């Protein structure tokens, strides 16, 4: 029952949860606290994993965009490397789209 209270604690009054905990033997309280701590640790690990994946994808997209600029515009692309590396996701999308039709590198970065 207390495990349920921990899961639903966001919607309950804090005093209700505390009252339920105080009615349990010490060994049960420790067990529940460890279970809750393990759950929080797993959530933190999952969040870090998702953030790591997103960061890796962003780096890969930046690298791919730089490579496409270099292949299309050769040495003219080098001065734009820092701008691509600092670009937001929406800017990278726009740069990639413009790469398909732009005749000059200036057209790719126009207005950015």
Mean pLDDT on 24-35: 67
Q: Give the confidence band of 9 by pLDDT, cuts at 50, 70, 90.
A: low
Mean pLDDT on 47-54: 83
Residue 69: pLDDT over 80: yes
Tokens of 75: 């040495």
Residue 50: pLDDT over 90: no
Parent domain of 66: 2-109
pTM of the model as a whole: 0.56
Domain count, the chain: 1
């Amino acid at each position: 029952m207390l495990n349920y209270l921990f899961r639903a604690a966001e919607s309950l009054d804090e005093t209700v949860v505390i009252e339920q905990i105080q009615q349990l033997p010490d060994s049960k309280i420790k067990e529940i606290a460890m279970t809750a701590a393990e759950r929080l640790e797993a959530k933190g690990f999952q969040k870090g994993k998702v953030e790591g994946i997103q960061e890796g994808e962003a780096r890969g997209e930046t690298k791919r965009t730089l490579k496409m600029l270099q292949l299309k515009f050769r040495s003219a692309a080098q001065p734009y490397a820092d701008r691509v590396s600092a670009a937001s996701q929406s800017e990278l999308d726009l740069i990639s789209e413009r790469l398909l039709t732009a005749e000059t590198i200036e057209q790719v970065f126009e207005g950015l």
